[in-house]
Structure 1
Amino acid sequence: MTAPASNRSWLKPAAIGAAVLAIAGIGFAAFSHQPTAPDVTFISIDGQKISSQNLRGKVVMVNFWATSCTTCVKEMPQMVETYNKFKDQGLEFVAVAMSYDPPNYVLNYAETRKLPFKVALDSGGDLAKQFGDVAMTPTTFVIGKDGKILKRYLGEPDFASLHVLLQKSLSAS
């Protein structure tokens, strides 16, 4: 025996409401998940090995760039300013030159501009692959003390909002 139609009229809106809430919950979970930065070892231009494991507990910026990238060259002075502003609060910074960038160009650029942070070479392209197949430069990652990627910037970041994020992340315990 079925109930009259007038008694079932609430079923359809309730089912739609439940479906919308379920989809919203899935969407929130997907967007609130912060991926963990890959476990990698950077090789600096002076041959120093920098393990991402050794950077845990610190806020880290990883900037993929190239000497042939005009936006990278344009943003680099502001990257230097950002590093200098936050390094005493514990910011670590690794500028990773793309695999197609000739090492002698990278070395010359870093030396003539006196880059104050670690500059690494991605000779085989492995680092770019492990960071999600980075192809566009500049691409910058901000990694929290817990190793989670807090933000990925494609292109030149909005430095004011980047500084807010860094300040918040560096002051978090």
Structure 2
Amino acid sequence: MNAPASKRSWINWAAIGAAVLIIGGIGYQTLTKSVKAPDVTFISIDGQKISSADLRGKVVMVNFWATSCATCVKEMPAMVDTYNKFKGQGLQFVAVAMSYDRPDYVLNYTQTRQLPFKVALDSGGDLAKQFGDVAMTPTTFVIGKDGEILKRYVGEPEFPALHQLLQKALTAKG
């Protein structure tokens, strides 16, 4: 014997509601689980090695970008302003050029724009892989003093919110 249509409808809605709660719970756990930044060594365009160990205890922004990326080029002046605003409080910044970006283009862009922070090349794509297979540019990570990734931005960040996050991270005990 089949249940009346109204009862079947209620059961269907209850099942959908339960599924949404389960998926939402998994998503919440995934989003709230702290993730450590990978242990990497950046090679700057001037050949300097910058290891994760060198950056421990500091707030760090890692920005994956490319000279061929219109959004990256558009956001770069705001990234420079952000770095200049917070470097005195200890912010470290590494701009990582994607593996497909020509090193001579990266060097030219860095010099002509007088980028004030470290610029690294990801020639083999290893850094992008270690940071979770970064494929979209720009992608920016904010890493806390404890090495935890505080935020991952894909695309241009909302700078007032980014500045609030940086201020909080920089003044936190580490």
- Partner Cα separation in structure 1 for residue 68 and residue 147 of structure 2: 30
What is the TM-score with the length of structure 1 in the denominator? 0.85
Give the superposition deviation at 1:32.
1.4
Q: Who is 2:60 aligned against?
A: 60
Paired with 2:117 and 2:153, the residues of 1 have a C-alpha distance of: 19
| Aligned match of 2:78 | 78
Q: Secondary structure at the match of 1:75?
A: helix
Matched with 1:106 is 106
Unaligned runs of 5+ in 2: 1-14
Amino acid at match of 2:134: V
Asked if 1:132 corresponds to 2:132, the answer is yes
Hey, what does 2:5 align to over in structure 1?
Answer: none
Following superposition, the deviation at residue 79 of structure 1 comes to 0.2
Deviation at 1:34, TM superposition (A): 1.5
SS in 2 for 1:141: strand
CA deviation string 1:119-161 (max 9, x = no partner): 0000000000000000000000000000000000000000000
Structure 1 gaps of 5+ residues are 1-15
Match of 2:10 in 1: none
Distance 1:73 1:26, change over 3 A: closer
- CA distance, structure 1, for counterparts of residue 163 and residue 94 of structure 2: 17
Question: Is the alpha carbon distance of 1:29 and 1:108 closer, same or farther for their aligned partners in structure 2, counting shifts above 3 Å?
Answer: same
Q: What is the aligned-residue RMSD (CA, Å)?
A: 1.7
TM-score (norm: length of structure 2)? 0.85
Structure 2: how far apart are the matches of 1:26 and 1:96? 32
Equivalent positions of 1:7-156 (< 5 A) are 23=22, 27-156=27-156
The residue matched to 1:152 in structure 2 has which SS? strand
Secondary structure of the corresponding residue to residue 93 of structure 1 = strand
| Cα distance in 2 between the residues matched to 1:44 and 1:114 | 15
> Partners of 2:110 and 2:49 in 1: how far apart?
17
